Amino acid sequence: MQEMRKSNDRVSLLAEVAELYYVVGKDQTEIARVIGVTRSMISRMLKEARESGIVEIRIHRDSRSDPTLEKQLVEVFGLKKAVVTQDQAFSNHNLQEHLGMAGARALKEFLEPNMIIGLAWGTAISAVVDAFEIPRQIPAKVVQLVGALSATYTEFDGHSLTMRLAQKLGGTAYYMSAPCYCQSSETVQTIMETPALQETVDLSRHVKVALLGIGSTERWYSSFLRSGYIPNEALERLHECGAVGNVAGTHFNILGKVVCRDFSDHLVVIHEKDLLNIPVRIGVAGGLGKANPVLGALRGGIVNVLVTDASTASQVLEQNSKS
């Protein structure tokens, strides 16, 4: 008990020092006089506060865009908008951060009070929600479009993302509280007709803006496979019918044609027709393995707003011109 009390006292002291420095604006010498320690001790305390997570530092910097690539994507694929970040990402984490900032900007451009917003899942969508900030909250309904992925992927799962975005908007969240993948299509039908999901399903038909990831069917990039939701055999069937990617459970080939509808029948997701009826469908994807899925999604009009990085955009345009 005594050790716990000492630990709590230490945390309180570090928080007080951090507030004086970062919030009040006192310099380290002034804080040392207030606390009654040396200046060097204050410096060490501030470092400890950062390392222990008491202090979190976020730098808000707009990503640079590539207007030339954006213009080409809009013209070639008839998009409503394209956002291409120029930033050189040294890791996948940095890339997702840049995509998140760009995606958050794109989302804000289409927001209106009282609108219904749809949300899928994935690392890119999580990055967008992380980066999303607005000066004043607006009333909105945020609807989960894809069932739960896995208990081990909660940060990137649709339920968590829907809740987080609704909180930032000051809106209301509507959940698809069911597993994403079921063994039989009959189970999916039964789930979709339950009263618990009916309100969410009905609202999904009135979504005005959807925030969507563009997933890959490649073994080393597939979220479905990595989460343990589908066996290798199911992934092989997707390959056999030519699927290169998916958006909210709708799979398509490199030409943009929707394929593997029998697999989609096993998914608790927004219906393909309802997805394509959404006026603004923002697809966020970039990095290794995303060129083919993005190209297929653009050719098929699965998304009509694209947020990506310059390297992926260049690959997509080059591949499109060759075939």
Q: Delineate the domains of the chain, giving CATH numbers in brackets.
A: 2-51 (1.10.10), 67-322 (3.40.50.1360)
What type of residue sits at position 85?
Answer: T
Residue 222 has pLDDT above 70, yes or no: no
Residue type, 100: G
Q: List b or e across 213-233, with b for residues whose CB sees 16 or more CB atoms inside 10 angstroms.
A: bbbbbbeebbbbbebebbeee
Write down the pLDDT at residue 69: 97
pLDDT tens figures, 111-153: 999 999 999 988 899 999 999 999 888 999 999 999 876 555 5
Q: What is the pLDDT of residue 63?
A: 62
Summary mean pLDDT of the chain: 87
**Nearest 10 degrees: CA dihedral of 315, 64, 118, 252?**
0
What's the pLDDT score for residue 217? 83
Query: What is the predicted pLDDT for the residue at 233?
Result: 74
142-169: average pLDDT: 81
> Per this entry, what is the length of the chain?
323
| CA gap 248, 148 in Å, rounded | 12
- What tokens appear for 118 in the block? 């749809």
d(CA 211, CA 225): 22
Average pLDDT score over residue span 68-82 = 98
What's the pLDDT at 1?
44
CB atoms within 10 A of CB 35: 15
Asked which of 101-105, 221-225, 254-258, 270-274 is least confident by mean pLDDT, the reply is 221-225
Question: Is the backbone of residue 257 left (phi > 0), alpha (psi -120 to 50) or beta?
Answer: beta
Q: pTM value?
A: 0.78
Backbone angles phi, psi at 11, to 5 degrees: -60, -45
Gap between the Cα atoms of 271 and 13, Å rounded = 54
The pLDDT value recorded for residue 230 is 62
Decide: residue 54, CB within 10 A, 0-12 exposed, 13-18 middle, 19+ buried: middle
Laid out side by side, the sheet with 245-247 consists of: 215-216, 245-247, 250-252
DSSP 179: B
- Spatial separation of the C-alpha atoms in residues 201 and 189, rounded to whole Å: 12
